[in-house]
Amino acid sequence: MAQQATETEFTLDTAAELAAHEEPEAIRGRSPWYLAWRRLRRNYVAFFFLFVFIVVVVACAFAPVYAKHVAGTGPNTNHILENVKVNGKETPVVSSGGYIDPHTGKLCPTSQSGCKLVASIPIGPTWFGAGGKFVLGADQNGRDIAVRLLYGGRTSLFIGIFSSAICVFFAVILALVAAYYGGWADFTITRFFDVMFAFPVILLGIALGSALAINGFHHFGINIQSGSIWIPTLIISYVLVPYIGRPLRGQVLSLREKEFVEASISQGASPLRVMFIELLPNIASSVIVFFTLIIANNILLETALSFLGAGVQPPTASWGTMIADGQNLIVTRPWLSFAPGLAIIITVVSLNVFGDGLRDALDPRAKVKVSH
């Protein structure tokens, strides 16, 4: 005979009894997206860095406003021969050069040993001393660094985001086609990936960048002039397609064998329908994570190509070209290369952290990794 449970005694029924006393609540169906959102919502670090990234994007979006109303100059306007009032004192934007002490960055008498000859020295950061002009100083052509930093951010972010979108788009299509059709299609596409993997990313980018830098690209009805920022955008998206396409193909390949695909085909679904309505939603979470992480990667690649002269062409500002411009003046005017470098780090770190958070939220067991 079962023993009667007293009120203080713990029985196996306690939890169920307690539940019975509560308001009956219908069990709600929750979509995977809702569950992912709930996991993401608790990740405050990821949200903080998403916020940082949005701040960077908004700041760069308002570059023209800053240029017009605060700095009063454009990103490519030279002020070599002009003076600016800093704290009420007239200062030349670019002073004629002289001998510079490499330790302090100050002028030194010619006779002193260990001093470097510098052709011209732009004004350093004025911070708030010149009413918003040359807040971070000027470069060798007398261009306002703060203005160029914001415009450079527009270029770098534009290339980063659009090249990622284009790259992911083509990688998804190639992965779906390769894994769905198999056979010759798969063979051709995977061999294409193999060949691309043979080239170091940066060398392939340089090869394309320097080949297209002279006359631009004019094929398949697409006409891009040399110097357009679409050239680095397309180069970067092309170069990275296999790095996304290959892991996605692997995922689709295993999905392809699942019953729901068989069911769909047996119901007479067309290949396009199977690929884009049945298979694509199942790899959507990986695609989103890849997209976020590859933006960070592409911003780094763009700055590297531009730094080497095979990406964004002068005088267009980008964070990479700015570092290249500031390289020779690092001793006297470190901010010329520090400012764009810090901007890159902040942007890329925030994208990486948010991307990792997104990955953890969308698929806690996923092993999506973007190769560098």
How far, in Å, CA of 127 to CA of 130, rounded?
A: 7
Q: Which is nearer to another protein, 73 or 163 (CB)?
A: 163
User: What are the tokens at 282?
Assistant: 């199942």
Q: Which is nearer to another protein, 67 or 178 (CB)?
A: 178
Backbone angles phi, psi at 175, to 5 degrees: -65, -45
User: What are the tokens at 199?
Assistant: 């080239």
Q: Which is nearer to another protein, 204 or 288 (CB)?
A: 204
Q: How far is the CB of 30 from another protein (least distance, A)?
A: 26
Q: How far is the CB of 353 from another protein (least distance, A)?
A: 7
Q: Which is nearer to another protein, 84 or 159 (CB)?
A: 159
Q: How far is the CB of 34 from another protein (least distance, A)?
A: 27
Sequence-distant (≥ 6) Cβ neighbours of residue 133 within 8 angstroms: 71, 72, 73, 84, 126, 144
Q: Which is nearer to another protein, 133 or 359 (CB)?
A: 359
Q: Which is nearer to another protein, 256 or 333 (CB)?
A: 333
How far, in Å, CA of 165 to CA of 189, rounded?
A: 20
Q: Which is nearer to another protein, 86 or 330 (CB)?
A: 330
Can you tell me whether residue 94 is helix, strand or coil?
strand
Q: How far is the CB of 300 from another protein (least distance, A)?
A: 6
How far, in Å, CA of 239 to CA of 297, rounded?
A: 12
Q: How far is the CB of 163 from another protein (least distance, A)?
A: 16
* Residue 76 burial by Cβ neighbours in a 10 Å radius (0-12, 13-18, 19+): middle
Question: Please, are residues 293 and 355 in contact by the beta-carbon 8 Å criterion?
Answer: yes
Backbone angles phi, psi at 86, to 5 degrees: -110, 115
Q: How far is the CB of 337 from another protein (least distance, A)?
A: 6
Question: Please, are residues 159 and 233 in contact by the beta-carbon 8 Å criterion?
Answer: yes
Q: How far is the CB of 219 from another protein (least distance, A)?
A: 7
Binding site residues, another protein, CB under 8 A = 102-103, 191, 194-195, 197-204, 206-219, 296, 300, 303-304, 307-310, 320, 323, 327, 330-331, 334, 337-338, 340-341, 344-345, 348-349, 352-353, 367, 369, 371-372
Q: Which is nearer to another protein, 226 or 270 (CB)?
A: 226
How far, in Å, CA of 293 to CA of 1, rounded?
A: 63
Q: How far is the CB of 215 from another protein (least distance, A)?
A: 3
H runs (alpha helix) in the chain: 14-21, 32-41, 44-61, 63-65, 145-181, 183-197, 201-215, 230-256, 259-266, 271-273, 280-308, 319-326, 335-362
Q: Which is nearer to another protein, 207 or 265 (CB)?
A: 207
Residues present in the chain in total: 372
Q: How far is the CB of 192 from another protein (least distance, A)?
A: 8
* Residue 202 burial by Cβ neighbours in a 10 Å radius (0-12, 13-18, 19+): middle
Q: How far is the CB of 214 from another protein (least distance, A)?
A: 6
Q: Which is nearer to another protein, 20 or 198 (CB)?
A: 198
Question: Please, are residues 80 and 93 in contact by the beta-carbon 8 Å criterion?
Answer: yes
